[in-house]
Chains A and B, each alone.
Chain A
Amino acid sequence: MFSIPLILSAKLAFCTMMLIPILAFPPAYFLAFGSCRGKSILDALITLPMVIPPTVLGFGLLMLMTPSGAVGGAWQTMTGSRLIFSFSGILFASLIFNLPFAVQPLRASFEKLDKRLLESAAVLGLSPWQTFYRVILPNSISGIAASSILVFAHSLGEFGVILMVGGSIPGRTQVASIAIYEAVEAMRFDDALYMSATLVPVCFFFLVILNAINRRQQS
């Protein structure tokens, strides 16, 4: 029974990790190489989910994701189903919540690139898009890996935002962190201990890998 929230957490973390590059690459590229006034505003906007309370972010997303909200309404029109209290809904929230954790390592990795490589690519005839996927991406592998691992580990521990937009529906939106909370409330300490004891080494393992990548990047 307690394995279902763990599997759901792993599924959510994996889906977030796989989808977040689509959202994270454009702002990371713009923040690293762009040079216009809106840069600092975009930077603050991207970092915002990192500093505001998860309940505040969750409440904001809840308003957006209800059938009368902009995102929830559009989703319902497209799919015929509600975004809120669904796995798709918590995945959407997870993507927003994790965006700064994906953008910052990518941005740092892009900024570390030798700018002359980009100039060399331009002189050799590569378009900006070709330069991105033939020069920038292959030379930012460690940044991409760091970003993915950070997002995966962070997704495993999400609580406030998921609770706000997904509630706690077993098998659908009840991820491990929420299940642990409910198990403790219901005095089912064995279940809570089992789930916690599974999550901690997994997160520890990913952080060790992350540190190794960071060390490699620095050297």
Chain B
Amino acid sequence: MTLAFSIKKQLEHMKLDIKMTCEPNTLTAIVGPSGSGKTTLIRMLAGLETPDSGNISCNNANWFSSSPRNVTPPQHRNAGLVFQDYTLFPHLTVEKNIRFAAVDSEQVPELLHSFNIEHIKNKKPHSISGGERQRAALCQTLARRPVTLLLDEPFSALDVTTRHKLQEMLLELKVQLHVPIIHVTHDLEEATLLGDSVVAIEQGKISPTWFASQLQAVHSAHNSAFYCEQFAQISNAAVCASTNRRKTSCRH
């Protein structure tokens, strides 16, 4: 399954103009400062917002095209979306939240086990921790067997230890899922750690794709204060560690 899109949208203060292709089994990390349009991009891919023009397709299914006009509603895209904040249904227990979305309800106990949330399956979302909520949200999303996984800063509200555990879990999932994953974050360290490729949104356009080997070069080439500041926070060790896992599977 390949997710390909070329979309334009006029935002309040800039025009978003993005073209990308994401291959299965790869995680494309998209970084950018607040207000750069990252979340809008994810929302357009999920069908929650409509681009002004362009097209979005996933594995030959046309989700959006401006000419001829075709908009597939979010209900029929089967895209998995995990929001920045937890959006489990508050009136349901963790297990019922997952059953709510599950394609195959017999699969639910196995999912609860693999996400290590069996012990909280009868609890309501408000009575569990942030990390557990986000694990449950990820589990709920995957229970629907989505054709692509869209992550909108899913770990930003978590403490460092929980974030690292979930990052590890995501790395394992990436191998198992066989779907393209787009991970939006403002944290470049997280992007380089998780992403097979990293792109940045700046002034509504995406930067050239950064593969691990290029990260250092991009660092020195970029004049943006944001990236200089971000890169300054990343130790060489973190970049080098992620270098070994890179694949050149996402191109734009």
Taking Cβ atoms with an 8 Å cutoff, the residues of A that contact B are 114, 116-117, 119-127, 134-135, 138-139
Pick the residue among A114, A123, A127 that contacts B81 (CB under 8 A): A123
Q: What residue of chain A has the Cβ atom nearest to residue B83's Cβ?
A: A116
- Chain B residues 147-195 with CB under 8 Å of chain A are none
Number of B interface residues in the complex (CB < 8 A): 23
Q: Which of A120, A121, A135 has the most CB of B within 10 A?
A: A120
Given contacts A119-B48, A120-B81, contact A126 B75 (CB under 8 A): yes
Query: How far, in angstroms, from A119 to B73 measured CA to CA in the complex?
Result: 11
Secondary structure class of chain A's binding surface, majority of residues? helix
Q: Are A127 and B87 in contact (CB under 8 A)?
A: no
The 6 closest A-B pairs by CB, nearest first: A120-B87, A138-B91, A122-B74, A123-B81, A124-B101, A116-B87
* Structural contact, B91 and A139, CB atoms closer than 8 A: yes
CB of B202 within 8 Å of the partner chain: no
Interface readout for B22-66 with A: 1 if CB under 8 Å, 0 if not? 000000000000000000000000111000000000000000000
Contacts of A123 in B (CB 8 A): 46-48, 74-75, 77, 79-81
A125→B83 contact, CB < 8 A: no
Residue in chain A with minimal CB distance to B90: A139
Q: Mark B99-115, 1 if CB is under 8 A from A, else 0.
A: 01100000000000000
- Residues in A with CB closer than 8 Å to B91 are 138-139
Q: Given that A120-B83, A122-B47, A122-B48 are contacting pairs, would A127 and B75 also be in contact in the complex, using a CB cutoff of 8 Å?
A: yes
Smallest Cβ-Cβ distance to B84: which chain A residue: A116
- Cα A48 to Cα B68 in complex, Å, equals 45
B205 at interface by CB-CB < 8 Å:
no
